[in-house]
Chains A and B, each alone.
Chain A
Amino acid sequence: MLKEMFQNIVKNPQAQVQFQSGQLQLAGMTSWERKALMDIIRNEKPGNVMRTNRYWY
Chain B
Amino acid sequence: MEDGAMKLAEEMEAQVLRSFAEDYLYEAALASVKVKATESLMCGRMTLLHYRMFGGVGDDIYRAAAAVEFMILALDIIDDIQDDDHKAMPWNDLPKNIALNLAIAFLTLSHETLLRCRFPSEHIHKAAMYLSRQVITATNGQTLDLLNNIATEEEYITMVKQKSAALLVCACMIGVILATGDVSPHVEEYAMEIGVSAQIKNDFRDLLNWDHKSDFLQRKRTLPLLFLLSSINQEDERWVADYFEGRLELSDIQHRSEEFAVIVERTGTSMYASFRERSSYYHFREILDSMGLESPWKQALIAAAE
Contact = CB atoms under 8 A, between A and B. Distances in A.
B49 A3 contact: no
Nearest to B52: A57
A28 B216 CA distance: 31
B272 interface: yes
29 contacts: A3-B153, A3-B227, A6-B272, A6-B275, A7-B231, A7-B272, A10-B271, A32-B279, A32-B280, A32-B283, A32-B286, A36-B276, A36-B278, A36-B281, A39-B275, A39-B278, A40-B275, A46-B282, A49-B303, A52-B300, A52-B303, A54-B2, A55-B49, A55-B301, A55-B303, A56-B2, A57-B4, A57-B48, A57-B51
B45 interface: yes
Contact of A50 (B5, B49, B302): B302
A11 B267 CA distance: 10
The 4 closest A-B pairs by CB, nearest first: A56-B4, A32-B282, A36-B278, A57-B52
Nearest to B270: A40
B49 A57 contact: yes
Given A50-B303, A55-B303, A56-B3, A36 B282 contact: yes
A46 B48 CA distance: 25
**Which of A3, A51, A52 has the most CB atoms of chain B within a 10 A radius of its CB?**
A3
A35 B49 CA distance: 27
B285 interface: yes
Interface in A15-50: 30-33, 35-37, 39-40, 46-47, 49-50
B274 interface: yes
Q: Is the contact region of chain B dominated by helix, strand, or loop, or is it mixed?
A: helix
Contact of A51 (B274, B281, B306): B306
B60 to A, nearest CB: 13
A55 B45 contact: yes
A46 B278 contact: yes
Contacts of B97: none
B48 A40 contact: no
A53 interface: yes
A11 B231 CA distance: 12
Interface string B254-293: 0000000000000010011011101111110110000000
Task: Name, among A36, A39, A50, A54, the residue most crowded by chain B CB atoms within 10 Å (CB to CB).
Answer: A36
Contacts of B285: 32, 47
Given A50-B303, A51-B303, A57-B51, A3 B272 contact: yes
Given A46-B278, A55-B303, A31 B286 contact: yes
A55 B300 contact: yes
A10 B269 CA distance: 11
Given A39-B274, A40-B271, 20 more contacts: A3-B153, A6-B268, A6-B275, A11-B268, A30-B283, A31-B286, A32-B283, A35-B278, A35-B279, A35-B282, A36-B278, A39-B275, A39-B278, A40-B278, A47-B285, A51-B303, A53-B2, A54-B300, A55-B300, A56-B48
